[in-house]
Chains A and B, each alone.
Chain A
Amino acid sequence: MRRVVLSGLLLAAFVAAWAWLASLQSVDDLTLASPGEVVQAFEDDWSLLWDNAWVTLTEVLLGLAIAVVAGVVFAVGMHLSRALRDAAYPLLVGSQAIPIVVLAPIFVLAFDYGIGPKLAIVALICFFPITVNLLDGLRAVEPELLKLMRSLGASRLRTLRSVELPAALPYLFSGLKIAAAVSVIGAVFGEWAGADEGLGRLVLLGNNQLQTPRVYAGIVILTVMAVALFALTALAERVACPWNRKERAA
């Protein structure tokens, strides 16, 4: 409750500062729309914003889903096979060094205008934090515990299922939270490189057509989307790993 009040107060202060800045004569209306104008844009363009927001949300969610599957497969594979880990780790890091801005148009060339390149870009930037965090979690299990499982006669896969994966679950969620926060940026990049719908495209178009309030309305929706995804992930973590919360509190 206290957290809600405090962050609400900070948000209100931010909006007030925004309104004050927008009211200054020296600030160009094309650069900064006032909060009032943005609310007006929400009223005027509601169905346009809504339809495009759905498109972007779909890209984000599907891209995240691909990233989770790929991330879990990569992390478990690299955990089980030392050779695979040694071989794949540099490539994994390298995949994050590629500038997405440059890659996006190439993806569009390769996959056409549809949803494909957007999913590829969202998945590419989201699978990295998921893989790295989950791999760390799998490797953080105490050696004594693995010894115990071995002495109990457990197979490698049994140990993975009963001990390592549950122990690594909080790490997976840490990776997911980071992925959720950056996933929206990935979708926007994908749409900028070439799309005929989506919030990213709407914002870019609005910018070119000098519809500043609509641009800001789009940004607000994108931000809310990222925050909501993050909050949902955090909530899922609390539900899925209740032991983790208790231990931290103790």
Chain B
Amino acid sequence: MPAKGVDFRMNVGAPVTGSRSEAGIGVTLSGVARRYPARRGADVVALEDLDLELRAGEVLGVVGPSGCGKSTLLELVAGLQEPDSGSVTVGEESDPAGRRAACTLMPQRDLLLPWRDALGNAALAIEATGTPSREARARAEPFFERFGLSDFEHARPAALSGGMRQRVAFIRTLLPGRPLLLLDEPFAALDAITRAEMQQWLANALAAEPRTVLLVTHDVEEALFLADRVAVLSPRPGRVVAELDVPLPRPRDRRAAVTDPELARLRARALEALS
């Protein structure tokens, strides 16, 4: 649960980062396969013949059963892995270094460093490429006020609630100003109430800081609530078995979304595709 007195409202004004990131960037995966050598017997095929396209500025939700290669998919796009066959292109870039430079990964767990305060943890994202610490902290600071974390800049991660830690992790993801965000089940570790609050928070944050977003989750409702389009993956080897357009403007309201008949219909279709 968040600490008392945390302001969940956000002042949705102009983005803090420069205009380079506003438009987002397109992503294309075509005929992608990825297999891992098994200790014995046949290789484990994580992804097979996967085609997926993200338009610039779009939020794409990817849902699938556990072990369907969702994490592999993210690491392929992030340039941390290479496909065995097929191609992965981010913007104009298809080599891994170019892909790495175009996106930021937000891992499942916040992975905040316990010896740095919240501001220092966010600043790490640009310190990583050589921005001096003082300057990095100064650039991270405006995000804290915008995203409801004022007065928590100097708190150590151990003193923050799970939701607040994820928000710091999200600021860390935004700070480098890269056009593509890769979110790996960002709220999976949170309790249900905090998760719902954080989904609303993220919807508003993405309205304030528009990017291309690839959101991987096992939660169909989360994907439908946050995304413009949802791709459903099959069990291993993962491939796209359904694509659903969510014809509602973003950011959506969490309470209205629960009872929206259109979303309910899409949820039924997604669950059918999953089974």
Contacts and interface: CB of A to CB of B under 8 A. Distances in A.
Interface of A: 142, 144-145, 147-154, 158-159, 162-163, 166-167, 241, 243-244, 246-247, 250
A158 B128 contact: yes
Contacts of B107: 144, 147-148
Contact of B100 (A144, A151, A167, A250): A151
B113 A166 contact: yes
Contact of B128 (A144, A149, A166, A243): A149
B113 A151 contact: no
Contacts of B101: 153
B233 interface: no
B115 A152 contact: no
A153 B129 contact: yes
A153 B115 contact: no
Contacts of A158: 127-128, 130
B115 A151 contact: no
Contact of A152 (B113, B114, B129, B158): B129
B83 interface: no
Contacts of B130: 158
Interface in B92-109: 100-101, 103-105, 107-109
Contacts of A163: 113
A148 B127 contact: no
A145 B107 CA distance: 9
Contacts, number: 59
Contacts of A153: 100-101, 128-129, 176
Contacts of A244: 114
A150 B29 CA distance: 22
Q: Give the interface size bracket for B toward A.
A: 20 to 34
B76 to A, nearest CB: 12
A162 B124 contact: yes
A142 B105 CA distance: 16
Contact of A151 (B105, B108, B114): B105
Interface string B66-78: 0000000001001
A33 to B, nearest CB: 49
A166 B114 CA distance: 10
B111 interface: yes
Nearest to B156: A243
B79 A151 contact: yes
A150 B80 contact: yes
A151 B76 CA distance: 11
A247 B80 CA distance: 31
Interface core residue of A148, A162, A166, A167 (most chain B CB under 10 Å) = A148
Interface core residue of B108, B124, B130 (most chain A CB under 10 Å) = B124
Interface core residue of B115, B124, B129 (most chain A CB under 10 Å) = B115
Interface string B121-149: 00011011110000000000000000000
Contact of A144 (B103, B111, B127): B111
The 6 A-B residue pairs with the shortest CB-CB distance in the complex, in nearest-first order: A154-B128, A152-B128, A243-B114, A151-B105, A243-B115, A153-B129
Contacts of B125: 152
Given A144-B107, A149-B128, A241 B79 contact: no
Nearest to A145: B111
Given A147-B80, A158-B130, 8 more contacts: A153-B100, A158-B127, A166-B113, A166-B115, A167-B113, A243-B114, A247-B114, A250-B158
A243 B114 CA distance: 6
A152 B111 contact: no
B100 A241 contact: no
B104 A151 contact: yes
B80 A241 contact: no
B71 to A, nearest CB: 10
B42 to A, nearest CB: 25
14 contacts: A147-B105, A148-B105, A148-B107, A148-B111, A149-B128, A150-B80, A151-B103, A151-B104, A152-B124, A153-B176, A154-B129, A166-B113, A243-B114, A250-B158
